[in-house]
Amino acid sequence: MKIITTVGEMQEAITAEKKLGKTIGYVPTMGYLHDGHLSLLNHARKENDIVALSIFVNPIQFGPTEDFATYPRDMDRDEKVAREAGVDYIFFPTVQEMYHDEISVQVTVQSRTDVLCGSKRPGHFDGVATVLTKLFNIIKPDKAYFGMKDAQQVAVVDGLIRDFNFAIELVPVPTVREEDGLAKSSRNVYLLEEERKDAKELYQSLLLAQQAITSGEDRPEEIIRMIKEHIGTHTGAEIDYIEIYSYPELKAVKQLHGKILIALAAKFTKARLIDNITMTLS
């Protein structure tokens, strides 16, 4: 495994691999790797000759109230996890290397961002799309792997790849879950003991919704009511949102059909958790 810190060296390494006819699987991260990232790396390892991992805490996707400086970082641990996962290259640039003194051109995302978590984080996905545009051009992967836990991000990346004509296959990877169904997240450690027991009900509420839809319920408002009632009955969490959209377009639907996303966010004492499921209906 090789750790590379400059754009030029990373481009040279990838160009050499491609000249040998090797396929490149790419996992972009901000580091502090967990089981969700490991799942992405495992998928990439199985499907490609070369696995590239980037670790870059991207300052331009942080809002004014989000502290870029205190975002968790542990490169020693990340290096160990990456090595064990069979990563070939870690791209680990500095902010100066990626952006120099100022940004003269930035990507603006026009759709899929005014709902779900994006509605509360203006400019966030512009920062995500800008850094991914740079990283895609540096690493030139054949396949890029993203976790469906953040389904909105996957939708935005889908639009970025399509609209900018990147020759990249987007590979959405299913959410990694604990044994009781709770979506794995670094935020889970902030749950109080009783809250951790209750948190599994978030996913249970989505499964309840899935069962109702499979049984014929096609009214979004009724599904949202069921999820809200289940969470309210079984947890002390404050519901941030429960929303249903077409996927990946993230457009409102009056009746459930086609591919849909059912997503929720809930606030516990010290943690805000998100979860979702997708369904394809006739």
Both 161 and 27 in one domain: the answer is yes
Q: Is 184 annotated as a binding residue?
A: yes
Domain residues for the domain of 154 are 2-173
Cβ-count burial 80-96 (b if 16+ within 10 Å, e if not): ebbeebebbbbbbbeee
Both 219 and 162 in one domain: the answer is no
Q: Please give the share of the chain, as a percent, with pLDDT higher than 90.
A: 91
In the structure encoding, which two tokens stand for residue 22, read together?
A: 């090797």
Residue 37 catalytic?
yes
Alpha-carbon torsion angle 73, 76, 78, 84, nearest 10 = -170
Per-residue pLDDT, 213: 98
Containing H/E element for 118? none
Per-residue pLDDT, 202: 98
Per-residue pLDDT, 67: 78
Per-residue pLDDT, 68: 87
State the Cα–Cα distance between residues 3 and 259, nearest whole angstrom.
40
Catalytic residue among 37, 43, 124, 230: 37
What angle is formed at CA 96 by the lines to CA 92 and CA 98, rounded to 5 degrees? 60
State the Cα–Cα distance between residues 85 and 39, nearest whole angstrom.
9
Both 124 and 193 in one domain: the answer is no
Widest distance between CA atoms in the chain: 59
Query: What are the φ/ψ torsions at residue 98 (nearest 5 degrees)?
Result: -80, -40
Q: What is the pLDDT of residues 143-171, one digit of tens each?
A: 999 999 999 999 999 999 999 999 999 99
Q: Which of 145, 173, 201 represents a domain boundary (last residue)?
A: 173
What is the sign of the dihedral through the CA atoms of 16, 147, 155 and 108?
negative
Both 63 and 115 in one domain: the answer is yes
Per-residue pLDDT, 72: 86
* Residues ≥6 apart with Cβ < 8 Å to 238: 266, 267
Both 87 and 162 in one domain: the answer is yes
Q: Is 149 annotated as a binding residue?
A: yes
Q: Is 176 annotated as a binding residue?
A: yes
Both 264 and 133 in one domain: the answer is no
Q: Is 30 annotated as a binding residue?
A: yes
Both 54 and 143 in one domain: the answer is yes
State the Cα–Cα distance between residues 218 and 188, nearest whole angstrom.
32
Q: What is the pLDDT of residues 26-82, one digit of tens each?
A: 999 999 998 999 999 999 999 999 999 999 999 999 988 787 888 889 999 999 999
Q: Residue 182, CB half-sphere, CA atoms under 13 Å: how many?
A: 19
Q: Is 159 annotated as a binding residue?
A: no
What is the sign of the dihedral through the CA atoms of 162, 128, 112 and 276?
positive
In the structure encoding, which two tokens stand for residue 154, read together?
A: 């996957």
Q: Is 148 annotated as a binding residue?
A: yes
Both 232 and 163 in one domain: the answer is no
